[in-house]
Amino acid sequence: MIDSPSRRAVVTGCGAVSALGSGVPALWQGLLAGRSALAPIRAFDTAGLASTLAGEVTDFDAAAFLDPTETARLDRVGQFALSAAREALRDARLDLASTDRTRVGVIAATTLGGMPAGEAYLRSRHGGAAFDARQLLHVPYAATATRLARALDVRGPVISPSIACASGTQAVGLALELIRCGHGDAFVVGGAEVLCHFVVAGFNSLRATTADAVRPFDVRRNGLAIGEGAAMLVIESVAHAQARGAAADVDVAGSGLSSDAVHMTAPARDGAGAARAMAAALRDADLAPHQVDFISAHGTGTPYNDAMEVAAITAVFGEAAPRIPLHSIKGAIGHTLGAAGSFEAIVCAAVLRAGVIPPTAGCEQLDPACPLDVVRGSARRHPVHVALSTSSAFAGNNAAIVMRRR
């Protein structure tokens, strides 16, 4: 843990596009109201899919956020990412034109990226609409990050984290590490995803999806729903933020990573891997478990994931675990895969600043096997000085971050 002013990392801006609406205010107000934006998919033909519930972005107007050239050049996931990034930069009041662009980087996670372009190509080969081969340039995993860096005209490090559904959390942790190492002054950090038939069908085939509602930690929970959108944060060194007069009140204080090495898609039932990532993040932040005031859980609403998280949180926090308010975002906007952890980082920053915790949409009948304080029903006022966010993913990847209000 490094606490010198030049090496501390702070969140100065947030931007989002989600099923609850475009912009962080729409996301935050929807969460506070306990709304669920999950609905049947409209973006593509869902014939043959057992479950079509998703957190689809339905009110995004690219022309309202991007110029015509950008709209034409970027695919849907790129449009989401750039829109959220621009909102985060406005929120941070960071003018790139007056900033050393060689010291500004992009860390953008995605698990799907330009996969819809690949699907369009395959449809064209089987009698579908004509396909412009230039769309295949969107397909590589790193394309979302590199195109975002190009659109913003920044010249610092460009990274595409790739640890499946923990990537958005890892992105925030990477920003912290790069600032500590002096590799940049500011980073546009987050994740972006877009719905596609292949991944929805894939989760259907794993029998991991629900047909009616996502219910994190609820005794009736029976699966997840895929979501889309983008969540972006501006993370700066505190010295850089203070030098330009920006607010430096929320630190990214620590990060941790681990692996289960148990199964390609299922979590370790005992939660040992997730527990190691959380404990590592706390050590990195030089904080004890009892100092945590809020937990943003992975909370997918699948039977095994939620049970694993209960075990992991109990292992890390011990007797304090039942007293720490906990929230999951996925009943509201779905599981946004590589963007999920970045959405949760935005929620953590908002909770730290507002002292209000949103209810967990979909959780109504708390599982008796979950002895944790899952906030449900209505928003709760609660002073929060330290927040922890945890993510788990395919291949046993786990990531956690600790954020702190100064």
Is-catalytic flag, 126?
no
Cα gap 55→77, rounded to integer Å: 14
**Which among 173, 351, 341 is positioned nearest to 249, based on CA atoms?**
351
Q: Are 325 and 294 in contact (CB under 8 A)?
A: yes
Which residue matches tokens 């109201």? 33
Active site residue 165: yes
DSSP class of residue 287 equals -
Angstrom distance (rounded) from CA 178 to CA 165? 21
Distance CA 20, CA 344 (A): 14
Closest C-alpha to 255, from 404, 406, 110, 81: 404
The verdict on whether 298 is a catalytic residue reads yes
Backbone angles phi, psi at 306, to 5 degrees: -65, -40
**Vertex 92 angle, CA 105 and 405, to 5°:** 100
Q: Which of 14, 197, 335, 348 is catalytic?
A: 335
Helix (H, G, I), strand (E, B) or coil at 11: strand
Rounded-to-integer distance, Cα 266 and Cα 164, Å:
13
> Dihedrals φ, ψ of 55, to 5°?
-95, 80
Angle, CA of 278, 280 and 286, to the nearest 5°: 105
Q: Identify the active-site residue in 165, 348, 363, 370.
A: 165
Distance from C-alpha of 69 to C-alpha of 1, rounded to nearest angstrom? 43
> Which entry of 298, 348, 363, 370 is annotated as an active-site residue?
298
List Cα–Cα distances, 27 to 30, 127, 159, 228, in angstroms: 5, 39, 26, 13
Cα angle, residue 95 at apex, residues 235 and 10 outer, rounded to 5°: 15
Q: Annotated active-site positions, please?
A: 165, 298, 335
